[in-house]
Structure formats: C-alpha cells, structure tokens
Amino acid sequence: MHQSTLSNALRQTKNYVELARPLNGVIAFVSAWLGGMFASADRWENLIDIRIWLVSVSALVLLSAGNAINDYCDYDIDCINRAQRPLPSGRIRRRAALIFAICLIALGIGLGACINVYALGIAMLVSIAVFTYALWLKRTPFIGNLVVSGLTGLTFIAGGVAIESVAGTLVPAMFAFLFTLPREIVKDLEDTEGDLKNGVKTLAILNPRLAVKIALVCLAVVILLSPIPYLFGWYSGIYLVVVVLGVDLVILYLGIRLWRDAAKENCAFIQRWMKWDIFIGLGAIYLGTFW
C-alpha cells in the first residue's frame, strides 16, 4: 500500500513537471542567471550573489506558471493539437492546473520581493502578462507573438535588475527577442489545425504566407546582426566562431526548410531545433563575454 501511494505521488509529480515544461523553465533560469552575470564584470562575485539565484528561480517558476495557465486556457485546442499533454490526457484536472499556476505565481512574486522593488515590479508585470496572454493576447494576431518574445528578452534584463545594473543585458535581450519571435510564429503554423477549430485567429491562420515571410525576415536579421557584438569589441572571437557555426548555420538551414515547407510536421521539427539552438546562442554569448 505504501509503495503504491509513493508510486502514484511520483507519477503525479512527473505529470506536474511535464505541465510546467521544464526545458522552457531551464531556458528562463539560465537566461536570468546570464543576465545577472552579463550585468557586471566581476563574474566571480556574481556567482555567490544570492540575488542572481533568486531572480533565476523566479524566472523559472513564473514561466512554469505561464505554461500551466496556457494549458488551462488552451484545453480544447490541445485536445486536437497535443492530446498527449497532461490536461487533455486526463492526467491532471484543469482546476488543479490552475491552482498549481497560481501557487507558482505567488512564489515568483515572493522571490522578486526578496530581491528589490524593481525585481518585484518585473515579477508582477510578468505575472499579469502571462495571464493576459493566455486569456486574450494569444488569440490576437501577431500581438501575442510579440508579448512572448518581449518577455523572453525581459528575462535577461531581470537578471541585471536584480543586481541593479542592466547595461550588459541589452544585447542578449535583443537577440532573445529576435530569436523567439520567429519561433512563436512557427509554433502557430504548427498549431493551425486546432486553432482553426477553436476560433483562434493567429497570423498563421489569417495569412500563413505573411507569417512565413515575417519569420524568415526575423531569422535573417539575427544572422545579419550576430557579428556586430564581435565587430564592436563587446564579445571575443570565440563568440563569433560559436555563433556562426552553432547558430547562424542552423538558422539558415531551418529557414530554408521553412521556406520550402510550412506544413505541421516540418514546423514541429523547426521549432524544436530552434529551442535547442537557444542554448548554443546563450553559450556563445557567455564564452564571448568572459573568455
């Protein structure tokens, strides 16, 4: 009986972790942590600065809350697009997912309050944004994509805000915005079937060709701008090598695939690879800043 209860608890914990989408949470954690590291030249002192770790955990839990709220609001859509997810599969009840999200929001805001008033303000702004996005903005053509991309860039700035210095966070925040925007558009292209059946009017539905073109333009801008931090002496040569080989060439390949085929299966492949490529970009910036 005891083993059965423990097994059920572990299984349910796994379901909630899946609901939170841990890979996205790790990206948020690393982004906020790197934002704090980029904001000051004294990286060794930053490693033991509790404020950077608090803001990183806050970013993780707030993003996880946003994912849970998004799944709660998109239940009918996910029954078509992602039937294996915890809510449509029945592994977690919708009300439980909402309570889970609210608890994470409270935790994220509480962590922000432990840092400083500016971090608290950002945590509250993010909390409002994730609710607004899930309830309304996601169904507003292109605006929802901009909001998610803006929040991704803000994660880096939040890391700097935690130690009250944001100058070094602006470049990675800009690249994060430009990288996330096309990925969000590609995700909408992937989800067209379920969105159509539930009356969601994304740019991918209203004008799929325009959506593809905007995504490709954003990817091209990332490639064109990527050498600038090296050319201006902000990052070292190792940044240029890693970003060209690990990011730009991958983006070029994915952009060609998107141009040739914007079908659901291909878009799923593209957006997954873009998510993994984010880590390469973060690594390039980190290496270029400190080595």
**Which of residues 81 and 129 earns the better pLDDT score?**
129
| Low-confidence winner among 28-32, 71-75, 193-197, 258-262 (lowest mean pLDDT) | 193-197
Q: Is the pLDDT of residue 136 over 60?
A: yes
Domain boundaries, position 178: 2-290
Q: Is the pLDDT of residue 67 over 90?
A: yes
pLDDT tens-digit readout, 200-229: 788 888 899 999 999 999 999 999 999 999
Do 287 and 242 touch, CB atoms closer than 8 A?
yes
Query: For the residues 253-271, what does the mean pLDDT come to?
Result: 94
Q: Is the pLDDT of residue 42 over 70?
A: no
Q: And the tokens for 107?
A: 């935790």
pLDDT at 2: 61
pLDDT at 10: 85
Count the domains in the chain. 1
Do 46 and 36 touch, CB atoms closer than 8 A?
yes
Share of the chain above pLDDT 70, in %: 97
**Separation CA 233–CA 239 (nearest Å):** 11
pTM (two decimals): 0.87
**Which of residues 196 and 133 earns the better pLDDT score?**
133
Q: To which H or E segment does residue 99 belong?
A: helix 94-115
How far is C-alpha 147 from the geometric centre of its chain's CA atoms? 11
Q: To which H or E segment does residue 283 belong?
A: helix 264-290
Q: How far is CA 279 from CA 20, 179, 180, 283, 286, in A?
A: 19, 12, 12, 6, 10
Q: What angle do CA 114, 119, 124 make, to 5 degrees?
A: 100
pLDDT at 43: 63
Q: Is the pLDDT of residue 1 over 60?
A: no
pLDDT tens-digit readout, 84-117: 999 999 899 999 999 999 999 999 999 999 999 9
pLDDT tens-digit readout, 13-35: 999 999 999 988 999 999 999 99
> Which domain CATH number covers 8?
1.10.357.140
Q: Is the pLDDT of residue 176 over 80?
A: yes
Q: Average model confidence (pLDDT) for the chain?
A: 90
* Secondary structure (H, E, C), 44-99: HHHHCCHHHHHHHHHHHHHHHHHHHHHHHHCHHHHHHHCCCCCCCCCCCCHHHHHH
**Which of residues 137 and 243 earns the better pLDDT score?**
243
pLDDT at 229: 94
